[in-house]
């Protein structure tokens, strides 16, 4: 409704003016409610999109690493290949520290990798959170996790966040 029509309504007197004014107020309120609803819908769609993208990334990482955890034939193959090509520092560390076989060390480090890549993806998508901080604090207390993190190749930003959480957990 144009501005001049609004002024005309406010200058009218009597019962007709009151009805027109209430109709105008109701129309403005309904318009604001529609705009607010659209805003909430946009926010909800954005959050759902982030959640779906995060789940897709997690599923992708799990599909990459899951063959190294489950089938014994793949672990046996990796053991033979790495005996020739050389073992990763992370695997060597677990073999030496915990007297693990190649297959056990590869399975365990890849299991840890899935856990930490999931948390890293959460960190990338949502940033630091109290839930993520609590998860990290619970895990970094364990020597095997510390050993894994010493040799991991997580992003620099997430590694720094883990270290800051680890330092605050010690206080």
Same domain, 74 and 146: yes
- Separation of alpha carbons 107 and 113, rounded Å: 10
The pLDDT tens digits of the residues spanning 10-27 come to 555 555 567 777 778 888
121 and 157 belong to one structural domain: yes
Task: Match 């926010």 to its residue by tokens.
Answer: 43
Examine the domain organization and report whether 93 and 11 are in the same domain.
no
- Shared domain for 76 and 48, answered yes or no, is no
The 10s digit of each residue's pLDDT in 134-168 is 999 999 999 999 999 999 889 999 999 999 998 88
8: its two tokens:
């005309």
Residue 136 located in a structural domain: yes
Q: How far apart are the C-alpha atoms of 106 and 90, rounded to whole Å? A: 9
């Amino acid at each position: 409704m144009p501005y001049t029509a609004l002024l005309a309504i406010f200058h009218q007197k009597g019962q007709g003016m009151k009805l027109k004014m209430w109709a105008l107020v109701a129309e403005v309120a309904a318009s604001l409610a529609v705009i607010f609803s659209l805003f909430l819908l946009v926010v909800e769609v954005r959050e759902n999109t982030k959640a779906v993208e995060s789940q897709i990334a997690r599923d992708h990482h799990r599909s990459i690493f899951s063959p190294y955890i489950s089938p014994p034939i793949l672990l046996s193959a990796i053991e033979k290949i790495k005996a020739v090509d050389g073992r990763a520092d992370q695997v060597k560390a677990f073999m030496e520290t915990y007297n693990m076989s190649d297959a056990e060390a590869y399975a365990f480090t890849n299991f840890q990798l899935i856990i930490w890549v999931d948390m890293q993806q959460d960190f990338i998508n949502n940033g630091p959170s109290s839930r993520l901080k609590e998860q990290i604090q619970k895990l970094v207390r364990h020597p095997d996790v510390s050993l894994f993190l010493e040799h991991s190749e997580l992003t620099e930003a997430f590694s720094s966040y883990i270290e800051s959480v680890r330092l605050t957990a010690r206080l």
